[in-house]
Amino acid sequence: MSSHHIVRENQEPALVIFDAHAIPFEKVQELLEWMPMIAVLYTQVEIVLGWGIKIDVVLVPAGEETSWTERTKDQQPIEVISFHINETPFSKAIALLLSRNIPAVNWLVTELQTLTGLIDFMGDAEVFVDNKRWSRVKSCRFEKWLPVGTALYIFPEYACSEISDGKFIVERDGVVVLQGEQVFWVGEEIV
């Protein structure tokens, strides 16, 4: 990082990995540019360690803290945070982000339904699933210049009256404007 880039702690988006294969590793490397706090679900630890990056937090089922502390001893210092049977790893990760006042997060996940679980996280969020980047549109208005042929996906599908099936193909180069009555998500394929 050059000397003119000054980043305060927790200013950069955290990276939470629940699916290490959500996007190609080259794209993950772009998310690592500012050295964010990295939290990883225990099922993905071996893959992420294979990338050669430092993990800050591993989320594990209750009762497995000691074994995971031992398994990740080469990553010390590392926090091993457990989630109980009555909570999801996702809700535990959100609680972690909120407790640290982290204002933004990039999620690598397996299911699009994850988007509905981010209601409690009021910061900026981007979710990566099935090689798509999903951005939350908190202002209920999406506006972006896009080239012809670009596919946009909307979640929930009914969020924008201009789109009936949750997918929109840009018909000509220019600014695309989508309006919703509530917060919605726009997905773009990663190229």
In this structure, the answer to whether residues 110 and 139 fall within a common structural domain is no
Q: Are both 101 and 161 inside the same structural domain?
A: no
Q: How many CB atoms lie within 10 A of CB 64?
A: 14
Range of the domain at 167: 131-191
3-state secondary structure of 85: coil
Band of the pLDDT at 1, cuts 50, 70, 90?
very low
Percentage with pLDDT > 70 across the chain: 93
Last residue of a domain, one of 130, 156, 175: 130
What is the total residue count of the chain?
Answer: 191
Task: Write down which residue in 130, 152, 183 finishes a domain.
Answer: 130
Residues 27 and 13: their CA atoms lie apart, in Å, by 15
Residue 11 pLDDT level (bands cut at 50, 70, 90): low
8-state DSSP, 91: H
Write the CATH number for 45: 3.40.50
User: Which tens digit of pLDDT belongs to each residue from 20-44?
Assistant: 999 999 999 999 987 789 999 999 9
The answer to whether 54 touches 164, Cβ cutoff 8 Å, is no
Q: What is the mean pLDDT of the chain?
A: 87
Domain co-membership, 159 together with 116: no
What DSSP string describes 20-71? TTSS-HHHHHHHTTT---EEEEGGGHHHHHHTT---SEEEEETT-HHHHHHH
Rounded-to-integer distance, Cα 62 and Cα 32, Å? 28
Render pLDDT for 102-113 as a digit per residue (tens, 0 to 9).
Answer: 989 999 999 887
pLDDT tens digits for range 81-103: 999 989 889 999 999 999 999 98
Same domain, 62 and 145: no
11 in the same domain as 105 = yes
Of 84, 110, 130, the one marking the end of a domain is 130
Q: Are residues 160 and 121 in the same domain?
A: no
This prediction has a pTM of 0.86
Q: How far is CA 97 from CA 11, 112, 122, in A?
A: 12, 20, 11
Per DSSP, the residues of 101-156 read T--EEEEE-S-GGGGGGGGG--SEEEEEETTEEEEEETTSEEEEEE-TT-EEEEES
157-169: pLDDT as tens digits: 877 777 778 888 8
Between 49 and 116, where is the model more confident?
49
Overall number of domains in the chain: 2
Q: Are residues 123 and 45 in the same domain?
A: yes
- Class of residue 166 by CB neighbours under 10 A (exposed 0-12, middle 13-18, buried 19+): middle
